[in-house]
């Protein structure tokens, strides 16, 4: 496969963020204990939206550090997102954001037992590559801006 241009990598990454159902989320506690979990993915065009109980390790870690990493599952078509992150209870999240999440993720946590929070990941850096030949130029977002 020929190396993709930056523009193609960005377009491919956006397409995957819009269409893939799940994403791996990595967080760490304030004292550095890592945690990794798959969650249902909703991409609103600029942020990754996720849902988890407020007492989950993922939510606790984000509250403590305000950072997370996200990775799409395909190891042949790598996408890694480094993001600032926030946790908001579903009942304090604007209704249009909740409805967008429900439609995009294909399930409604409000129908599940217990309380739920919306995790909002705002990308700061995104890397995307197909195999070793594409390691050069893999950074397609820096400081929250797409690389041109």
- At residue 132, the pLDDT reads 84
Boundaries of domain holding 35: 6-146
Predicted confidence (pLDDT) per residue in 49-60, tens digit: 999 999 999 999
Predicted confidence (pLDDT) per residue in 41-50, tens digit: 999 999 999 9
Predicted confidence (pLDDT) per residue in 75-92, tens digit: 889 999 999 999 999 999
In a domain, residue 1? The reply is no
* E strand or H helix that includes residue 50: strand 48-52
In a domain, residue 128? The reply is yes
- At residue 1, the pLDDT reads 57
Three-state SS for 62? Answer: helix
Total domain count for the chain? 1
* pLDDT for residue 65 is more than 90: yes
In a domain, residue 86? The reply is yes
Nearest CA to 118 out of 88, 85, 83, 97 is that of 88
**Domain containing residue 97: CATH number:** 2.30.110.10
Predicted confidence (pLDDT) per residue in 89-138, tens digit: 999 999 999 999 999 999 999 988 999 999 999 999 999 998 888 888 89
- Beta-carbon contacts of 49 under 8 Å, excluding residues fewer than 6 positions away, are 41, 42, 43, 97, 100, 101, 104, 105, 118, 119, 120, 121
Write the Ramachandran bin of 76: left for phi over 0, alpha for psi from -120 to 50, otherwise beta: alpha
Contact between 84 and 50 under an 8 Å Cβ cutoff? The reply is: no
Query: CA torsion sign, 76 to 102 to 51 to 141?
Result: positive
| Cα–Cα dist 105/38, whole Å | 13
C-alpha of 62 from chain center? 13
């Amino acid at each position: 496969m020929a190396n993709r241009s930056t523009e193609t990598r960005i377009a491919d990454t956006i397409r995957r963020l819009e269409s893939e159902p799940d994403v791996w989320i990595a967080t760490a506690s304030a004292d550095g204990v890592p945690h990794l979990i798959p969650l249902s993915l909703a991409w609103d065009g600029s942020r990754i939206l996720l849902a988890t109980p407020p007492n989950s390790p993922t939510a606790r870690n984000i509250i403590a550090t305000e950072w997370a990493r996200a990775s799409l599952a395909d190891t042949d078509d790598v996408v890694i997102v480094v993001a600032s992150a926030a946790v908001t209870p579903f009942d304090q999240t604007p209704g249009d954001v909740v409805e967008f999440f429900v439609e995009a993720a294909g399930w409604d946590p409000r129908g599940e037992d217990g309380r739920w929070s919306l995790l909002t990941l705002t990308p700061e850096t995104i890397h995307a590559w197909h195999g070793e030949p594409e390691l050069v130029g893999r950074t397609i977002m820096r400081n929250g801006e797409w690389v041109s």
